[in-house]
Amino acid sequence: MPKIAKRVAKSREGIDPTKLYALTEAVAMLKERATAKFDETIEISMNLGVDPRHADQMVRGVCNLPNGTGRSVRVAVFARGAKADEAKAAGADIVGAEDLLAEIQGGKIDFDRCIATPDLMPLVGRLGKVLGPRGLMPNPKVGTVTMDVTKAVGDAKGGAVEFRAEKAGIVHAGVGKASFTAEALVQNIVAFAEAVHKAKPTGAKGTYVQRVAVSSTMGPGLKVDPSSVATAS
């Protein structure tokens, strides 16, 4: 058996695929099994009782993880003049207007988060087909279209994660690294779940959170009791 297959098989030992684990237990098991040679990302996936094809069932928002994401986030800001200077001072990696538009249109997308001042949205709007599919299009609902670029850049650098329900009603996000303490991961997961709950749309009917699972980059997925996500601390 190849070395990677052996490690995968070992990581699944002792896991009951039919069991709903308490969040604290699931996190402890993930950390034990995150044995890759790099710091694995811990991810959460939530199946919601919504159909995002209907406008009143769309779930979208942003969560500021209390313990950050553990990853370095490159931030691009569309701004001019004083706001461009403010963005640079706040730590933005790339700042521009028409020049940044040209770079992106040329295929250079060297950032993880995109922020814009409202006056530049007509310009940014031309990039909808490029940024939209990548989840990078600035949006006022998640605080990435704003005049307060200092806060937006700080949030992006400090652990803000955006979420949006996919076609099947699933939201997912990286909520930390395997090197985090179990307590820090649990706090981040609970904060993310709370943000998803707050984003519950008016058109959602029946059980909103139907299934929850956590996993690491190279490890197995563990089903989590949804009620434990709401009550863990």
Q: 10 Å Cβ neighbour count for 115?
A: 28
Radius of gyration of the chain (CA): 19
Q: What is the DSSP secondary-structure string of the chain? A: --HHHHHHHHHTTT--TT--B-HHHHHHHHHHH--SSS-PEEEEEEEES--TTSGGG--EEEEE-TT--SS---EEEE--HHHHHHHHHHT-SEEESHHHHHHHHTT----SEEEE-GGGHHHHGGGHHHHGGGT----GGGT-B-S-HHHHHHHHHHTEEEEE--TTSEEEEEEEETTS-HHHHHHHHHHHHHHHHHT--TT--S-SEEEEEEEESSS-EEEE-HHHHHH--
Q: How far is Cα 37 from Cα 54, in angstroms, rounded to an integer?
A: 43
Supply the pLDDT for residue 10. 58
Residue 156 is encoded by which pair of tokens? Answer: 């992006």
Q: What is the pLDDT of residues 112-124, one digit of tens each?
A: 999 999 999 999 9
Residues 114, 76: contact at Cβ < 8 Å? yes
- Farthest CA pair distance, the chain: 60
Judged by average pLDDT, the poorest of 109-113, 144-148, 163-167 is 163-167
Supply the pLDDT for residue 162. 86
User: What is the arithmetic mean of pLDDT over 133-149?
Assistant: 92
As a whole-number percent, the residues of the chain with pLDDT over 70 amount to 93
> Model pTM?
0.77
Tokens 């076609």, residue located: 167
Q: What is the pLDDT of residues 195-230, one digit of tens each?
A: 999 999 988 888 999 999 999 999 889 999 999 987
The confidence band for 26, taking pLDDT boundaries of 50, 70 and 90, is very high
Supply the pLDDT for residue 13. 66
Supply the pLDDT for residue 233. 47
pLDDT at 5 over 80: no
Mean pLDDT, all residues of the chain: 90
Supply the pLDDT for residue 8. 55
Q: How far is Cα 56 from Cα 21, in angstroms, rounded to an integer?
A: 32
Does 17 or 67 have the greater pLDDT score?
67
What type of residue sits at position 78? F
pLDDT at 193 over 70: yes
Give the phi and the psi of residue 178 in degrees, each rounded to 5. -60, -25
pLDDT at 36 over 60: yes
